[in-house]
Amino acid sequence: MDTDKPGAMRRSAPSGAAKVATGDMPAAPPMRDPKAKHPRPPFKAQSQPWPGLAGKMDPKPDHGETSYKGSGRLLGRRALITGGDSGMGRAAAIAFGREGADVAINYLPDEEPDAQEVAEWIRAAGRKCATIPGDLRDEAFCRRLVDQAARELGGLDIVVNNAARQQTHASILDISTEQFDWTMKTNIYAPFWIIKAALPHLEPGAVIIGTTSEQAYDPSPDLYDYAQTKAATMNYIKSLAKQLGPKGIRVNGVAPGPIWTPLQVSGGATMEKLQEFGGHTPLGRPGQPAELAAIYVQLAAEDASYANGQIYGASGGSGQP
Ligand code: NAD
Ligand code: MG
Instruction: Please write the tens of the pLDDT for every residue from 85-105.
Output: 999 999 999 999 999 999 999
- Closest listed residue to residue 209, CA positions, set 234, 242, 185: 234
Domains of the chain: 54-314 (3.40.50.720)
pLDDT grade for 26, boundaries at 50, 70 and 90? confident
For residue 252, the SS3 value is strand
Q: Please count the other Cβ atoms lying within 10 Å of the Cβ belonging to residue 280.
A: 15
Report whether 273 contacts 231 (CB < 8 A). Answer: no
Q: How far is the CA of 87 from the centre of ligand 2 (A)?
A: 7
* Ligand 2 ion local residues (Cβ < 5 A): 85-86, 111, 262
- Residues having CB closer than 6 A to ligand 1 are 51-52, 83, 85-89, 106-108, 111, 135-137, 162-166, 186, 211, 213, 256, 258-259, 261-264
Residue 77 Cα to chain centre, angstroms: 16
Mean pLDDT in residue range 260-286: 98
Lowest mean pLDDT of 2-6, 143-147, 198-202, name the range. Answer: 2-6
Between CA 279 and CA 40 the distance in angstroms is 7
- The span from the CA of 151 to the CA of 128, in Å, is 12
Q: If you average pLDDT over residues 109-116, what whole number do you get?
A: 98
Phi, psi for 211 (deg, rounded to 5) = -95, 115
pTM of the model: 0.95
Is the C-alpha dihedral spanning 85, 189, 207, 155 positive or negative? negative
